[in-house]
Structure 1
Amino acid sequence: MTTVIDGNEIGDQITEGVAECTETLVNEGVTPGLATVLMSDDGASETYVSMKQQACAEIGIEGYHYELDADEPAETLFATIDDLNADPAVHGILVQMPVPDHVDKREVLERIDPMKDVDGFHPENVGRLVSGNARYKPCTPHGVQKILAKTGIETEGKDAVVVGRSDIVGKPMANLLIQYGSGGNATATVCHSRTDDLAAKTRDADIVIAAAGVPEMIDGSMLTEGTTVIDVGINRVDADTEKGYELVGDVDFESAKAKADAITPVPGGVGPLTIAMLMYNTVKAASLQSGVDVTLP
């Protein structure tokens, strides 16, 4: 019997624990603050930011939101980041990607104070992650770790294949899987668009984490019986629905479910954990900056 992992339930459990930590901080006079910055007309980005701000309101984090015209010069965005870096009420800063073409994405990431980089993408935080001393784990890979742990799926000694090599998911996911300790100690293989015979790699895996951004690229024929399948992809494909599209993952769910021991759906799998772990990182940032200790879930 295949287990369909309920990401909403796991996300709610983590969010409840984060809310308790938020209350502890507030009682000590520290209200965690998260600033989101949007410099885009992209509808999906606007939705993502709205969801993050809503999550803040639900657990007691102070949300600050800044919208910049996509035609503004890069210096306007950098000045906004500088102001937020200097604001003691703001413990976490998130610049919603993508930014316009005339803005250097790497310069944006490097401009954020690494202590306030709750995405975990500043080079300093990436280096700490790789060295095994993470300050903030990137939200989606950390969420995948939580899913595996809460579902009782052991990573130690397992062969894990990560499909996708992005800075946001693929690379940090592989790094987390090979770390010493709980949620790590796996043998990780990173596959990508240049990988020869991807199916041979995924069939050898105990755990497959799909994060390539290609709709339904992995199906049941590419899996071995009993595999754990974590689908990070969220893709819009044309469909005969009221909206004219539907959301699908990087995994063909039905055929993969027939082979998998456990699998995450799309939507309702990894997505809820991404926001939960952003709240987690924001509260951790407030704790580190204030010196008030909390025990995060």
Structure 2
Amino acid sequence: MAIILDGKTIAKKLEAELAAYSRIREIRLDVILVGDNLASATYVRNKHRAAERVGMQSVIHTLPVHTKSEEIEQLIEELNSNEEVDGILLQLPLPEQLNSEKLLDSIHPMKDVDVFHPENAGLAYLGRPRIWPCTPSGILRLLHEHEIDIVGKHAVVVGRSNIVGKPMAALLQHANATVTVCHRMTKRLQDFTRQADILVVAAGSPGLIGKDDIKPGAVVIDVGSEFVNGKLTGDVRFAEVEPIASAITPVPGGVGPLTIASLLSNTVRLASLRRGWAN
């Protein structure tokens, strides 16, 4: 039976570290939520609660689904200029009428807690990060805390999004894994996933990976989180894969809590850099 990689326990450990930071109550994270996406609203609520637990200031700006791009740009500019704001997060996905790339680029790089700004992303991919994106950072901490060796292992990442897939591949490379990236255009996906010592599935396709898609003894990280029939569901068919894998994350309770804890950690790191505080 696989080791269950419990993100909740490690997230609590990280939150305790953040709560002990002497300046935590001076730090403020602002989140912009546009529309009524159920998953997004849940994530934002969980982020707000986590910030409150560690003592960080948290402000949520909730905007209606038909909000114009110009209104969001104006709000971002106000937050960029506000010296009391240390982190800005624009919750994705955005409604169809909005240009996500343009809006994300308008967030000041020293307040870009998600690492979407080209300046921050470029530094990260070069191995000189201010911060790493939240989910990949959380996954690496999860692996380290469970003493799962990465060096020289074949890691396969399914998904190439800017928020998980691409930065996850880069971070694993910097950790000295050999990395293969698969995506929706990959032919014979199973040929690649069955080679993985470490399989990270971030495809946004519930139930994509089953028992025939993994190598026995593989470490399986499920980043999927879609609501199916009112239930949060991952990209991995957990009940099938758990008896075969050596370690696996559940959904919920695996990657999600560490993503949020890493977001708070990123906010603290950027606040320290921008304000000139000792790290």
TM-score interval, normalised by the smaller of the two chains: over 0.9
Aligned match of 1:166: 161
Aligned match of 2:269: 284
Query: d(CA) in 2 for partners of 1:148 and 1:42?
Result: 31
> How do residues 109-188 of structure 1 correspond to structure 2 at under 5 angstroms?
109-179=104-174, 184-188=175-179
Aligned match of 2:183: 192
Aligned match of 1:10: 10
Query: d(CA) in 1 for partners of 2:39 and 2:209?
Result: 24
Letter in 1 for 2:192: K
Identity of aligned residues (%): 44
Letter in 2 for 1:11: A
Aligned match of 2:202: 211
> How do residues 213-292 of structure 1 correspond to structure 2 at under 5 angstroms?
213-238=204-229, 245-292=230-277
User: Alpha-carbon deviation of 1:172?
Assistant: 0.5
> How do residues 22-37 of structure 1 correspond to structure 2 at under 5 angstroms?
24-26=22-24, 31-37=26-32
Gaps of 5+ in 2: none
Query: d(CA) in 2 for partners of 1:110 and 1:279?
Result: 21
User: Alpha-carbon deviation of 1:261?
Assistant: 0.5
Does the 8 Å contact 1:40/1:98 carry over to 2? no
Query: d(CA) in 1 for partners of 2:240 and 2:270?
Result: 41
Output one character per residue of 1:38-74: Cα deviation in whole Å (capped at 9) or x when no partner: 1212232222212111111111111122122222321
Query: d(CA) in 2 for partners of 1:104 and 1:292?
Result: 35
Query: d(CA) in 2 for partners of 1:234 and 1:55?
Result: 19
Most deviating of 155-164 and 59-68: 59-68
Gaps of 5+ in 1: 239-244
User: Alpha-carbon deviation of 1:247?
Assistant: 2.1
Query: d(CA) in 2 for partners of 1:72 and 1:252?
Result: 37
Structure 2 residue 58 is matched with structure 1 residue 58: no
1:66 partner SS: strand
TM-score, normalization by structure 2: 0.97
Output one character per residue of 1:203-254: Cα deviation in whole Å (capped at 9) or x when no partner: 111000010011111111111221100000012223xxxxxx3222111112
Query: d(CA) in 1 for partners of 2:169 and 2:59?
Result: 32
User: Alpha-carbon deviation of 1:109?
Assistant: 0.8
Structure 2 residue 44 is matched with structure 1 residue 44: no
Aligned match of 1:68: 63
Query: d(CA) in 1 for partners of 2:12 and 2:2?
Result: 22
Does the 8 Å contact 2:109/2:119 carry over to 1? yes
Structure 1 ranges of 4+ moved more than 3 A? none
Most deviating of 5-14 and 62-71: 62-71
Letter in 2 for 1:25: R
Structure 2 residue 79 is matched with structure 1 residue 81: no
2:264 partner SS: helix
1:154 partner SS: coil
Letter in 2 for 1:224: K
Distance verdict in 2 for CA 1:224–1:33, change over 3 Å: same
User: Alpha-carbon deviation of 1:153?
Assistant: 0.5
Output one character per residue of 1:78-128: Cα deviation in whole Å (capped at 9) or x when no partner: 000000000010000011112222221111111000000001111111101
User: Alpha-carbon deviation of 1:191?
Assistant: 0.5
Query: d(CA) in 2 for partners of 1:217 and 1:190?
Result: 16
Letter in 2 for 1:78: E
Query: d(CA) in 2 for partners of 1:34 and 1:98?
Result: 19
User: Alpha-carbon deviation of 1:195?
Assistant: 1.0
Most deviating of 32-41 and 67-76: 67-76
